[in-house]
């Protein structure tokens, strides 16, 4: 298996990148978010890859981080989630959002990805609930998020208010988990909104 490629970017599209390594150009399909974050054509970059071998095809999928690479492998391990759906999910969600949506049972978050319907989204959250690790990025542990969602008083009220504003349960719980629950509800909501505005 090819774990990663480091070389000059020869060509870059919204959904694919060609990286030249030792005179060989490797074509890797990538999520839209990865293509946008890579350096310009002619510059050097590292892609973390997943190789998919079928009877009629050998394809390479590229990612900017090892977290995205691991998340793609985890997603495509779900029955019915092929590489195309895995790329679509990672085009609209970062790995921490994927982990949070799975752990909180927020299957609706996955329907934002092209080609992922409600039934497949539910299967993803059900099949991967036990596999999702305890740690998330941004220094927030899953236990913190769960505690924030279950906490009586300020945190729970703030999450409910954020959900009523159109944020998903998992987005609201992640934002509130980073804030001191002893603060007044209005202050928690204000800080959470400020934090989420920075993430979007």
Say if residue 189 is in the same domain as residue 151: yes
Q: Cβ distance 161 to 189 under 8 Å? A: yes
In this prediction, residue 163 carries a pLDDT of: 74
Q: Cβ distance 86 to 69 under 8 Å? A: no
Say if residue 37 is in the same domain as residue 73: no
Write down which residue in 76, 94, 128 finishes a domain.
128
Model confidence band, residue 1 (pLDDT cutoffs 50, 70, 90) = confident
Question: How far is it, in rounded angstroms, from Cα 99 to Cα 121?
Answer: 13
pLDDT in tens, 183-196: 888 888 888 888 87
pLDDT in tens, 163-183: 777 777 777 777 888 788 788
* 171 vs 122, higher pLDDT: 122
Say if residue 8 is in the same domain as residue 59: yes
Write down which residue in 35, 63, 91 finishes a domain.
63
Query: What is the residue-wise DSSP string for 46-104?
Result: EEEEEEEE-SS-EEEEEESSHHHHHHHHHHHTSTT--HHHHHHHHHH--HHHHHHHHHT
**Stretch 11-16: mean pLDDT, rounded?**
92
Query: What is the residue-wise DSSP string for 145-162?
Result: HHHHHH-TTHHHHHHHHH
pTM of the prediction? 0.67
Instruction: State the greatest distance between any 2 C-alpha atoms of the chain, in Å, as a whole number.
Output: 61
Write down which residue in 128, 148, 165 finishes a domain.
128
Question: How far is it, in rounded angstroms, from Cα 60 to Cα 58?
Answer: 7
Say if residue 56 is in the same domain as residue 26: yes
Say if residue 40 is in the same domain as residue 93: no
**Stretch 70-91: mean pLDDT, rounded?**
92
Q: Per the structure, how many domains does the chain have? A: 3
Structural domain range at position 186? 137-199
Say if residue 59 is in the same domain as residue 71: no
Say if residue 94 is in the same domain as residue 146: no
CATH number of the structural domain spanning residue 23: 2.40.50.140
């Amino acid at each position: 298996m090819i774990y990663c490629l480091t070389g000059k970017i020869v060509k870059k599209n919204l959904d694919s990148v060609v990286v030249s390594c030792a005179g060989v150009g490797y074509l890797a399909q990538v999520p839209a978010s990865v293509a946008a974050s890579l350096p310009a054509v002619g510059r050097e970059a590292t892609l973390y890859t997943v190789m998919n071998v079928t009877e009629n095809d050998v394809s390479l999928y590229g990612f900017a981080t090892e977290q995205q690479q691991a998340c793609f492998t985890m997603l495509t391990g779900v029955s019915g989630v092929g590489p195309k759906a895995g790329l679509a999910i990672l085009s609209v969600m970062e790995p921490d959002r994927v982990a949070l949506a799975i752990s909180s049972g927020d299957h609706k978050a996955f329907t934002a990805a092209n080609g992922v319907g409600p039934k497949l989204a539910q299967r993803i959250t059900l099949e991967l609930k036990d596999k999702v690790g305890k740690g998330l990025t941004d220094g927030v542990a899953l236990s913190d998020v769960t505690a924030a969602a279950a906490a009586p008083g300020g945190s729970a009220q703030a999450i409910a208010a954020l959900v009523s504003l159109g944020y998903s349960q998992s987005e609201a719980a992640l934002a509130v988990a980073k804030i001191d629950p002893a603060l007044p509800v209005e202050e928690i909501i204000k800080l959470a909104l400020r934090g989420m505005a920075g993430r979007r």
